[in-house]
Amino acid sequence: MIHEVDEALRRLLGESGLEASGVEVVFDAPTRDWAARRTTPTVCVFLYDIREDTTRRGSGTEEVYDADGHLVARRPPPRWFDLAYLVSAWAGRPTDEHRLLSQVLACLTAGDTLPRRLLTGSLAELGLTIDLDASGVPGPDAPALSDVWSALGGELKASLTLRVRAPLAAPRRATAPPVTEGLEVRASADRDGDEHTAFARRLRYTEVSDPGPHGLAGPRERPAPSRRRRRGRQP
Protein backbone atom coordinates (compact mmCIF):
# COMPACT_ATOMS: atom_id res chain seq x y z
CA MET A 1 0.00 0.00 0.00
CA ILE A 2 2.81 2.45 0.84
CA HIS A 3 4.49 2.12 -2.55
CA GLU A 4 1.10 2.71 -4.21
CA VAL A 5 0.67 5.95 -2.24
CA ASP A 6 4.19 6.96 -3.31
CA GLU A 7 3.30 6.36 -6.95
CA ALA A 8 0.09 8.39 -6.64
CA LEU A 9 2.00 11.30 -5.09
CA ARG A 10 4.63 11.09 -7.82
CA ARG A 11 1.93 11.30 -10.48
CA LEU A 12 0.16 14.14 -8.68
CA LEU A 13 3.31 16.23 -8.46
CA GLY A 14 4.20 15.32 -12.03
CA GLU A 15 0.91 16.77 -13.24
CA SER A 16 1.81 20.10 -11.64
CA GLY A 17 4.62 20.52 -14.18
CA LEU A 18 7.61 19.73 -11.97
CA GLU A 19 8.99 16.89 -14.06
CA ALA A 20 8.36 18.80 -17.29
CA SER A 21 10.55 21.63 -15.99
CA GLY A 22 13.39 19.25 -15.11
CA VAL A 23 12.68 18.95 -11.37
CA GLU A 24 13.22 15.47 -9.97
CA VAL A 25 10.76 13.99 -7.46
CA VAL A 26 12.37 11.47 -5.08
CA PHE A 27 11.44 9.66 -1.89
CA ASP A 28 14.91 9.39 -0.36
CA ALA A 29 15.91 10.40 3.14
CA PRO A 30 17.35 13.95 2.92
CA THR A 31 20.52 13.25 4.86
CA ARG A 32 23.62 15.45 4.80
CA ASP A 33 25.44 13.08 2.41
CA TRP A 34 22.43 12.87 0.13
CA ALA A 35 22.13 16.64 -0.04
CA ALA A 36 25.82 16.96 -0.94
CA ARG A 37 25.33 14.75 -3.99
CA ARG A 38 22.38 16.67 -5.44
CA THR A 39 23.17 18.45 -8.72
CA THR A 40 19.67 19.10 -10.07
CA PRO A 41 16.58 20.80 -8.59
CA THR A 42 14.78 18.19 -6.49
CA VAL A 43 11.59 17.82 -4.50
CA CYS A 44 12.08 15.26 -1.72
CA VAL A 45 9.02 13.49 -0.31
CA PHE A 46 10.36 11.58 2.69
CA LEU A 47 8.12 9.18 4.63
CA TYR A 48 9.11 9.52 8.28
CA ASP A 49 6.12 8.25 10.30
CA ILE A 50 3.48 5.48 9.97
CA ARG A 51 0.63 5.06 12.46
CA GLU A 52 -2.63 3.14 12.37
CA ASP A 53 -5.90 4.97 12.88
CA THR A 54 -7.43 2.51 15.35
CA THR A 55 -10.69 4.46 15.48
CA ARG A 56 -11.49 3.22 11.96
CA ARG A 57 -10.70 -0.42 12.58
CA GLY A 58 -13.74 -2.48 11.55
CA SER A 59 -14.97 -6.01 12.15
CA GLY A 60 -16.71 -8.73 10.19
CA THR A 61 -15.97 -9.69 6.60
CA GLU A 62 -16.47 -8.21 3.15
CA GLU A 63 -17.51 -10.19 0.07
CA VAL A 64 -15.56 -10.01 -3.19
CA TYR A 65 -17.30 -10.71 -6.50
CA ASP A 66 -15.92 -11.31 -9.97
CA ALA A 67 -17.01 -9.64 -13.20
CA ASP A 68 -19.92 -12.11 -13.57
CA GLY A 69 -21.28 -11.34 -10.12
CA HIS A 70 -20.13 -14.61 -8.50
CA LEU A 71 -18.81 -14.64 -4.96
CA VAL A 72 -15.12 -15.57 -5.17
CA ALA A 73 -13.60 -14.53 -1.82
CA ARG A 74 -14.13 -12.97 1.58
CA ARG A 75 -11.80 -10.72 3.54
CA PRO A 76 -11.78 -8.58 6.68
CA PRO A 77 -12.32 -4.84 6.23
CA PRO A 78 -9.21 -2.78 5.44
CA ARG A 79 -7.18 -1.12 8.18
CA TRP A 80 -6.38 2.58 7.86
CA PHE A 81 -2.94 4.10 8.34
CA ASP A 82 -1.71 7.69 8.55
CA LEU A 83 1.43 8.24 6.49
CA ALA A 84 3.40 11.38 7.36
CA TYR A 85 5.74 12.79 4.69
CA LEU A 86 8.37 15.49 5.05
CA VAL A 87 8.31 17.48 1.79
CA SER A 88 11.30 19.72 1.03
CA ALA A 89 12.75 21.48 -2.01
CA TRP A 90 16.43 21.43 -2.98
CA ALA A 91 18.05 23.84 -5.42
CA GLY A 92 21.10 26.05 -5.72
CA ARG A 93 19.56 29.14 -4.08
CA PRO A 94 16.99 29.59 -1.30
CA THR A 95 14.76 31.65 -3.60
CA ASP A 96 14.59 28.77 -6.08
CA GLU A 97 13.80 26.36 -3.26
CA HIS A 98 10.99 28.60 -2.02
CA ARG A 99 9.58 28.81 -5.54
CA LEU A 100 9.58 25.03 -5.83
CA LEU A 101 8.05 24.63 -2.40
CA SER A 102 5.32 27.12 -3.30
CA GLN A 103 4.50 25.16 -6.46
CA VAL A 104 4.34 21.91 -4.47
CA LEU A 105 2.12 23.49 -1.83
CA ALA A 106 -0.30 24.78 -4.47
CA CYS A 107 -0.50 21.28 -5.97
CA LEU A 108 -1.06 19.45 -2.68
CA THR A 109 -3.69 21.89 -1.39
CA ALA A 110 -5.75 21.87 -4.60
CA GLY A 111 -7.84 18.98 -3.22
CA ASP A 112 -8.51 17.12 0.00
CA THR A 113 -8.20 13.65 -1.54
CA LEU A 114 -5.98 11.80 -3.97
CA PRO A 115 -7.68 11.67 -7.39
CA ARG A 116 -8.92 8.18 -8.24
CA ARG A 117 -7.29 8.30 -11.67
CA LEU A 118 -3.87 8.29 -9.98
CA LEU A 119 -4.48 5.20 -7.83
CA THR A 120 -3.04 1.81 -8.73
CA GLY A 121 -2.99 -1.71 -7.31
CA SER A 122 -4.96 -2.40 -4.15
CA LEU A 123 -5.86 1.27 -3.71
CA ALA A 124 -7.64 1.32 -7.05
CA GLU A 125 -9.29 -2.04 -6.34
CA LEU A 126 -10.72 -0.95 -3.00
CA GLY A 127 -12.14 2.23 -4.52
CA LEU A 128 -12.05 4.10 -1.18
CA THR A 129 -11.43 7.80 -0.62
CA ILE A 130 -7.85 8.59 0.41
CA ASP A 131 -7.59 11.79 2.44
CA LEU A 132 -4.80 14.23 1.72
CA ASP A 133 -3.83 16.85 4.34
CA ALA A 134 -1.10 19.36 3.49
CA SER A 135 -1.89 21.78 6.31
CA GLY A 136 1.57 21.24 7.75
CA VAL A 137 0.26 20.12 11.15
CA PRO A 138 1.86 16.83 12.29
CA GLY A 139 -0.21 14.15 13.95
CA PRO A 140 -0.72 14.25 17.74
CA ASP A 141 1.86 11.52 18.33
CA ALA A 142 4.20 12.30 15.43
CA PRO A 143 7.74 13.50 16.15
CA ALA A 144 8.54 17.19 15.84
CA LEU A 145 10.06 18.32 12.54
CA SER A 146 13.12 19.62 14.35
CA ASP A 147 13.71 16.14 15.77
CA VAL A 148 13.31 14.62 12.31
CA TRP A 149 15.89 16.95 10.79
CA SER A 150 18.22 16.30 13.70
CA ALA A 151 17.91 12.53 13.24
CA LEU A 152 18.72 12.96 9.55
CA GLY A 153 21.95 14.71 10.46
CA GLY A 154 21.08 17.99 8.79
CA GLU A 155 20.06 21.50 9.73
CA LEU A 156 16.45 22.63 10.01
CA LYS A 157 15.12 23.49 6.55
CA ALA A 158 11.91 24.99 5.20
CA SER A 159 9.54 22.10 4.58
CA LEU A 160 5.93 21.05 4.92
CA THR A 161 4.23 18.03 6.45
CA LEU A 162 1.95 15.96 4.24
CA ARG A 163 -0.40 13.43 5.83
CA VAL A 164 -2.08 10.71 3.77
CA ARG A 165 -4.69 8.40 5.26
CA ALA A 166 -4.74 5.21 3.20
CA PRO A 167 -6.35 1.76 3.57
CA LEU A 168 -4.38 -1.47 3.81
CA ALA A 169 -6.29 -4.30 2.12
CA ALA A 170 -6.60 -7.51 4.15
CA PRO A 171 -5.71 -10.86 2.54
CA ARG A 172 -8.49 -12.68 0.72
CA ARG A 173 -9.90 -16.06 1.64
CA ALA A 174 -11.14 -17.87 -1.44
CA THR A 175 -14.62 -19.37 -1.31
CA ALA A 176 -15.84 -22.61 -2.88
CA PRO A 177 -16.90 -22.35 -6.53
CA PRO A 178 -20.65 -22.01 -7.23
CA VAL A 179 -22.66 -25.24 -7.49
CA THR A 180 -23.65 -26.00 -11.07
CA GLU A 181 -24.94 -29.58 -10.68
CA GLY A 182 -27.89 -30.88 -8.72
CA LEU A 183 -28.11 -33.89 -6.43
CA GLU A 184 -27.88 -37.10 -8.43
CA VAL A 185 -29.83 -40.24 -7.48
CA ARG A 186 -28.54 -43.63 -8.67
CA ALA A 187 -30.06 -47.14 -8.37
CA SER A 188 -28.11 -49.92 -6.67
CA ALA A 189 -28.53 -53.64 -5.94
CA ASP A 190 -31.09 -54.58 -3.27
CA ARG A 191 -30.39 -56.70 -0.20
CA ASP A 192 -31.26 -59.98 -1.97
CA GLY A 193 -28.67 -59.34 -4.60
CA ASP A 194 -31.14 -58.77 -7.43
CA GLU A 195 -29.97 -56.21 -9.92
CA HIS A 196 -32.34 -53.51 -11.13
CA THR A 197 -32.00 -51.50 -14.26
CA ALA A 198 -29.31 -48.93 -13.59
CA PHE A 199 -30.32 -45.33 -14.04
CA ALA A 200 -29.27 -41.91 -12.84
CA ARG A 201 -31.43 -38.86 -12.32
CA ARG A 202 -30.78 -35.39 -10.99
CA LEU A 203 -33.35 -33.85 -8.70
CA ARG A 204 -35.41 -30.81 -9.69
CA TYR A 205 -35.69 -32.06 -13.26
CA THR A 206 -39.03 -33.17 -14.71
CA GLU A 207 -39.10 -36.31 -16.85
CA VAL A 208 -35.40 -36.15 -17.60
CA SER A 209 -33.15 -39.08 -16.75
CA ASP A 210 -29.85 -37.48 -17.75
CA PRO A 211 -29.57 -33.67 -17.41
CA GLY A 212 -26.44 -33.59 -19.53
CA PRO A 213 -23.08 -31.96 -18.84
CA HIS A 214 -24.56 -28.63 -17.77
CA GLY A 215 -26.38 -29.99 -14.72
CA LEU A 216 -28.72 -27.49 -13.15
CA ALA A 217 -27.34 -24.79 -15.41
CA GLY A 218 -29.11 -26.38 -18.39
CA PRO A 219 -32.65 -25.52 -19.53
CA ARG A 220 -35.51 -27.20 -17.75
CA GLU A 221 -39.27 -27.21 -17.97
CA ARG A 222 -41.27 -25.38 -15.35
CA PRO A 223 -45.01 -25.87 -14.83
CA ALA A 224 -47.17 -22.86 -15.52
CA PRO A 225 -48.06 -20.94 -12.35
CA SER A 226 -51.59 -21.52 -11.11
CA ARG A 227 -54.06 -18.68 -11.06
CA ARG A 228 -54.66 -17.24 -7.63
CA ARG A 229 -57.90 -15.91 -6.28
CA ARG A 230 -58.08 -12.29 -5.35
CA ARG A 231 -59.34 -11.43 -1.93
CA GLY A 232 -62.94 -10.26 -1.91
CA ARG A 233 -63.79 -11.56 -5.39
CA GLN A 234 -65.45 -14.71 -6.57
CA PRO A 235 -63.62 -16.92 -9.04
pLDDT of residue 227: 61
Question: For residue 21, what pLDDT band results from cuts at 50, 70 and 90?
Answer: confident
Name the burial class of residue 84, with classes exposed (0-12), middle (13-18) and buried (19+) by CB atoms within 10 angstroms of its CB: buried
Tens-place pLDDT, residues 151-185: 888 788 888 899 999 999 877 777 666 666 666 66
pLDDT of residue 30: 92
Nearest to residue 58, comparing CAs of 27, 88, 80, 34? 80
- Report how far residue 101's alpha carbon sits from residue 44's, in angstroms, rounded to the nearest whole number: 10
Helix, strand, or coil (residue 87): strand
Where is pLDDT greater, at 213 or 111?
Answer: 111
Length of the chain, please? 235
pLDDT of residue 176: 66
pLDDT of residue 87: 94
Q: What average pLDDT does the segment 195-211 reach?
A: 53
Helix, strand, or coil (residue 214): coil
Question: For residue 67, what pLDDT band results from cuts at 50, 70 and 90?
Answer: confident
